Amino acid sequence: MCKYNKFLKEQIVSILKTIYDPEISVDIYELGLIYDIKIISNKKIKIIMTLTTPNCPVIESLPIEVEKKIKLNIKKIDDVKIVLTFDPPWSKEFMSEEARLELGLL
């Protein structure tokens, strides 16, 4: 990964860490809801993400929030494609150690 892409990915992760799952007091990145961040070009990214369950009440709003926050905070990005998937289904094993500690699972 080139230096620029690494920096851009770090910026994106930083933004994702400001978005919280409304039912769990942990950000979506540490919760393990972000499966992949692909930098297509300087202005275009693709994020593959999931939700804790397919019946999650924020199934409509959370992907839109992710897209808007990235576009708002990184002006040079024009196109943010969010791909919502449930394969593989999310599980507690996807959570970071930090998230597990915060939720008392360690």
Which H or E run contains 47? strand 44-49
Label residues 9-39 b or e (16+ Cβ within 10 Å = b): eeebeebbeebebeeeebbbbbbbbbeebeb
**Radius of gyration over alpha carbons of the chain, in Å?**
14
CA 62 to chain centre: 10
pTM over 0.95: no
Q: Which of 1.20.1090.10, 3.30.300.130, 1.10.10.10, 3.40.50.2300 is the CATH number of 3-101?
A: 3.30.300.130
Q: Residue 15: name the closest of 33, 1, 28, 32 by CA.
A: 28
Q: Kindly report, residue by residue over 18-64, the tens digit of the pLDDT.
A: 999 888 889 999 999 999 999 998 899 999 999 999 998 889 999 99
